[in-house]
């Protein structure tokens, strides 16, 4: 049964990168824009639908070139809650679960995504997240039963609020490399990670 599950993925790429002081998704990371690194490493073959929600034309072009469905976030509201809602609105109606991922974790591996998917296929009602030493990180795969709650998040909330409301459902897939979970918020973060890529 698990092998027949249909899964989607939504990349959240609408933030304004205020702490980074520039569009971090377009910043150079080991010779190419970070968004190219992140999307290029992603195992699309594991998913029935892959979506990137963004307000940036350059990100949209890169995503489309790699076969992702692009959803434009053209409103003044760049909150995570709105980005999640726009992505959910674009999902096919027959999906059993959806992975939500950010675009500023350049060391995230396809192997970890595969492990998350495998865990969800074994436990299709669970919330499955990548983590390190028991601490939850991103990305997170939610079952369809929670899509309604995700779509009803208020501005200022994120998927973490839904996880917190359903902790018994949470299963953490452990990575051996904590750097996979590091997201880039400041230029210094990117500078520290580049030599490790």
Q: What is the pLDDT along the chain (197 residues), one digit of tens a residue?
A: 345 899 999 999 986 555 545 577 877 777 888 899 999 999 999 999 999 999 999 999 999 999 999 999 987 666 899 999 999 999 999 999 999 999 889 899 999 999 999 999 999 999 999 999 999 999 999 999 999 999 999 988 999 999 999 999 999 999 999 999 988 765 566 566 655 55
- The pLDDT of residue 1: 34
Q: Residues with Cβ < 8 Å from 177, sequence gap 6 or more?
A: 107, 109
How many CB atoms are located within 10 Å of the residue 65 CB? 10
Q: What is the dihedral of CA 41, 185, 117, 37, to 10 degrees?
A: -10
CATH of range 2-196; options 3.90.550.10, 3.10.20.30, 3.40.50.300, 1.10.10.1400? 3.90.550.10
This prediction's pTM: 0.89
- The pLDDT of residue 2: 42
Q: What is the C-alpha to C-alpha distance for residues 99 and 15, in angstroms, rounded to an integer?
A: 18
- Angstrom CA distances, 63 to 1, 32, 95, 130, stand at 31, 14, 21, 23
- Angstrom CA distances, 46 to 13, 69, 82, 180, stand at 20, 15, 26, 19
Q: How many residues does the chain have?
A: 197
């Amino acid at each position: 049964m698990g092998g027949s599950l249909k899964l989607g993925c939504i990349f959240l790429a609408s933030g304004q990168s205020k702490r980074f002081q520039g569009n971090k998704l377009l910043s150079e990371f080991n010779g190419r824009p970070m968004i190219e690194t992140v999307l290029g490493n992603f195992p699309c073959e594991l998913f029935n639908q892959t979506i990137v929600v963004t307000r940036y034309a350059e990100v949209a072009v890169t995503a489309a070139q790699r076969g992702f469905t692009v959803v434009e976030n053209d409103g003044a509201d760049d909150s995570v809650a709105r980005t999640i809602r726009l992505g959910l609105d674009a999902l096919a109606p027959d999906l059993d679960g959806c992975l939500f991922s950010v675009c500023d974790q350049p060391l995230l591996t396809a192997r970890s995504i595969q492990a998350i998917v495998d865990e969800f296929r074994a436990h299709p009602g669970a919330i499955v997240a990548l983590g390190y030493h028991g601490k939850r990180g991103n990305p997170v795969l939610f079952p369809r039963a929670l899509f309604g709650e995700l779509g009803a998040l208020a501005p200022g909330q994120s998927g973490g609020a839904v996880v917190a409301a359903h902790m018994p459902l949470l299963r953490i897939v452990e990575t051996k490399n904590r750097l996979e979970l590091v997201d880039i918020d400041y230029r210094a973060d990117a500078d520290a990670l580049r030599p490790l890529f």
